[in-house]
Chain A
Amino acid sequence: GAVVSQHPSRVICKSGTSVKIECRSLDFQATTMFWYRQFPKKSLMLMATSNEGSKATYEQGVEKDKFLINHASLTLSTLTVTSAHPEDSSFYICSARDWGQGSDEQYFGPGTRLTVT
């Protein structure tokens, strides 16, 4: 089955620093990946759609200069949280769709827990 990985799984950083999270599709090519965030005991909220070779599409209310997304290859998308603050602490999850299978199913990564101190 399609596998999506994320790295790191957990990260603790100081306020004001930037953190990069990687999302990789391991056994398929993903022209489109999605980034979600999840606060404790809450649901997932779509942040942005990451398109290979073009700019990401951000959901309303998500600051594109704060959450930089780069999708440089068909198997890798990165999310960089710039000048992180404690309110950015959250669980970040990516997903990818395997268009080669013609399926609507999205495959989710295991998530990255970010804690900003």
Chain B
Amino acid sequence: SQQGEEDPQALSIQEGENATMNCSYKTSINNLQWYRQNSGRGLVHLILIRSNEREKHSGRLRVTLDTSKKSSSLLITASRAADTASYFCATTTLWSGGGADGLTFGKGTHLIIQP
């Protein structure tokens, strides 16, 4: 089921500005991941944050996770035109059975960076 909800659905900013995207989910999760997708292409993994982590950084990316609010945010600092893409959050559900679990994706945010 599609449990993640990103907002905004679309975001257009000027190059150099920071872009913030939010994601909410409904069930208890094992971890939350952010992916990027250029138009018509495959997914690129950006960052994974575990349920016991609150914040994580990777280069110009900063991800926060608030499990009490069941929400996450992705911040891209000093945006570049090449950051134009769709960004999705995805979660794996916490369950006791172990094994592999498919990802539940959010609806995505389409980010446009104006040069």
B103 with A105: CB separation less than 8 A: no
From A42, A91, A97, A105, give the contact of B100 (CB < 8 A).
A97
Contacts of A106 in B (CB 8 A): 33, 45, 103
From A60, A95, A110, give the contact of B103 (CB < 8 A).
A95
Interface residues of A in 68-117 (CB under 8 A from B): 91, 93, 95, 97, 99, 104-111, 113
By the criterion of a CB under 8 Å from any partner CB, how many residues of chain B are at the interface? Answer: 26
Cα separation A5 to B84 with both chains bound (whole Å):
24
Given contacts A43-B108, A93-B42, A111-B41, contact A49 B2 (CB under 8 A): no
Please, which residue of chain B has its CB at the minimum distance from the CB of A57? B102
From A97, A107, A113, give the contact of B40 (CB < 8 A).
A113
- The 7 tightest CB contacts between A and B, nearest first, are A32-B100, A110-B42, A46-B102, A108-B43, A44-B105, A34-B102, A43-B105
A110 with B41: CB separation less than 8 A: yes
B41 with A105: CB separation less than 8 A: no
Interface residues of B in 20-58 (CB under 8 A from A): 30-31, 33, 35, 40-45, 48
Chain A residues at the B interface, C-beta cutoff of 8 Å: 31-32, 34, 36, 42-46, 49, 59-60, 91, 93, 95, 97, 99, 104-111, 113
Cα separation A34 to B45 with both chains bound (whole Å):
15
Minimum CB–CB distance from A61 to chain B (whole Å) comes to: 9
Cα separation A109 to B45 with both chains bound (whole Å):
11
Minimum CB–CB distance from A43 to chain B (whole Å) comes to: 5
Please, which residue of chain B has its CB at the minimum distance from the CB of A6? B42
Contacts of A91 in B (CB 8 A): 40
Cα separation A104 to B33 with both chains bound (whole Å):
10
Residue B77 is within 8 A (CB to CB) of chain A in the complex:
no
Minimum CB–CB distance from B74 to chain A (whole Å) comes to: 15
B40 with A43: CB separation less than 8 A: no
Please, which residue of chain A has its CB at the minimum distance from the CB of B50? A104
Cα separation A46 to B92 with both chains bound (whole Å):
12
B48 with A43: CB separation less than 8 A: no
A43 with B88: CB separation less than 8 A: yes
A-B contact pairs, 25 of them (CB 8 A): A32-B99, A32-B100, A36-B102, A36-B103, A43-B107, A44-B88, A44-B105, A45-B2, A46-B105, A49-B102, A91-B40, A93-B42, A95-B43, A95-B103, A104-B33, A104-B92, A105-B33, A105-B45, A106-B33, A106-B103, A107-B45, A108-B35, A108-B45, A110-B41, A110-B42
